[in-house]
Amino acid sequence: MADILRLRLVTPERLLLDEEVDEVTAPGTVGEFGVFPDHATFLSSLQPGRLSYKQNGQARSLAVNDGFAEVVDNLMTVLCTEAAYANEIDAAQAQEAVREAEAALGNLSPTDTGFEDAQNTLRLAQVRLDVASNG
């Protein structure tokens, strides 16, 4: 049986990707993980970060917001609230978002209620900037 991994990426707004890939690297909440064909059945939550995959030897990256990844029978489904390729992100806007998120985080102490959210917002903004500028 040919062992091909299929990556399906869905957000509430669209089905972004449904293709065969060689390998995937995803930002899990307890650490980045890689998925190759014939991976064990697996469910993980994701944090804002860079999701990259290789297709015919070519690597592509997306900035994803928090969500989940499930691997069953060589089908990896990624559910995330937002995802964008480098060419969909405006670097200047991303830079601005980083500044805003840093400022917002600066006003909070780790015990405040919105602290975790602010941290996630900053992380997402940084990843978007990184993906936009480094591809």
Partner 1 sequence: MATLKEIRKRVSSVQNIQQITKAMKMVSAARLRRAQEAALAARPYAEKLEAVLQNLAAQGGELAHPFLTERAENNTTLIVMTSDRGLCGGFNSSLIREAEAFMRQRSEQKVSLILVGRRAYDHFKRRDVTIAEEHINLYGRLSADLAHDIGRRVGEQFLSGETDSFYVLYAKFRSALVQVPTLDKILPIASTPQTEDQSTLDYLYEPAPQTLLASLLERYIDMLIYRAMLESVASEHGARMTAMDNATNNAVEMIDRLTLDMNRARQAGITRELLEIVATGESLKG
Closest approach of Cβ 50 to partner 1, in Å? 18
**Residue 119 binds partner 1 (CB under 8 A):** no
Which region, judged by CB under 8 A, interacts with partner 1, from 25-33, 55-63, 86-94, 100-108? Answer: 25-33
Q: What is the dihedral of CA 113, 115, 116, 119, to 10 degrees?
A: 160
Nearer to partner 1, 96 or 117 (CB): 117
Q: How far is the CB of 12 from partner 1 (least distance, A)?
A: 4
- Letter for the amino acid at 12? P
- Whole-angstrom distance, CA of residue 96 vs CA of residue 85: 18
User: b/e string for 37-63 if b means 16 or more Cβ within 10 A?
Assistant: eebeeeebebbbbbbbbeeeeeeebbb
* Interface residues toward partner 1, by CB under 8 A: 10-15, 28-30, 33, 40-45, 66-68, 70, 72, 77, 79, 81-82
